[in-house]
Structure 1
Amino acid sequence: MITCYIKYEIEPAKLNEFEEYARMWIPLVEKFGGTHHGYYLPHESPSDLAVCLFSFSSLADYEVYRAKSMEDADCQKAFRFAEETACIRRYDRHFLRPVT
């Protein structure tokens, strides 16, 4: 299993827009065979920090998801929403493996 950890730098004034964006992606990751562990929004932390965690059975399965997301209409809608609302300043993607 591989878990993708995404650290977002978000626009604090557009937290509601980012939350809407996040709600779009949860079912999309699952649509392509992933397990979504959720988005985590600022609380007692910097106001421009959000994170997301989701897993696939392998890095190869994640790569299939990435390729399919580039062709999927709902994924493209989510990408456009983030771009149009400018709710994300930047993000960093990391891949982690669990200790079992």
Structure 2
Amino acid sequence: MVTCYLRYVVDPHKLDAFEAYGRLWIRLVEKFGGKHHGYFMPSEGASNIALALFSFPSLTAYEDYRKRSFEDPECQAAIAMNEKDRFIISYERSFFRPVFEDDLGVKRAP
């Protein structure tokens, strides 16, 4: 499994538009076989930083999602939202592999 971490710098005056954009991508990631863990909007502290986390079974599955998303009309409409309203100032993308308790041979209670 690979988890994509996205850290956004957003226009603090356009948080509603960014949140609408995020809600669209949750469904779209899942449409292509991913598991979205949500968008995390500013609450305390910096008012212009938002996060998103989603996972795919493998980096290959993620790359397939990326390729297919560039051809998907719903994904292109979501991208066009930001191109029109410019609520995302910048973003960075990192990939992580999760470690779970079971990975150490420790069994979880049923």
**Structure 1 residue 8 corresponds to structure 2 residue 36:** no
Q: Distance in 2 between matches of 1:44 and 1:19?
A: 16
- For residues 85 and 45 of structure 2, the distance between their equivalents in structure 1, rounded to whole angstroms, comes to 23
Partner secondary structure for residue 45 of structure 1: coil
Paired-residue identity, %? 53
User: How well do the aligned residues superpose, as a CA RMSD in angstroms?
Assistant: 0.5
Of structures 1 and 2, the one scoring higher in RCO (CA 8 A, sep 6+) is 1
Query: Hey, what does 2:80 align to over in structure 1?
Result: 80
Structure 1: 5+ residue stretches without partners: none
TM-score by length of 1: 0.99
Note the residue ranges of structure 2 that are not aligned, 5 or more in a row.
Answer: 101-110
- How far does residue 32 in structure 1 lie from its aligned partner after superposition? 0.1
* Residue correspondences, number: 100
**2:49 paired residue number:** 49
Q: CA deviation at 1:99?
A: 1.1
Residue deviations 1:4-39, cap 9 Å, x none?
A: 000000000000000010011000000000000000
Decide which structure has the larger Cα Rg and report it.
Answer: 2
Report the Cα offset of residue 83 of structure 1: 1.2
Inter-partner Cα distance in structure 1 for 2:98 and 2:41: 23
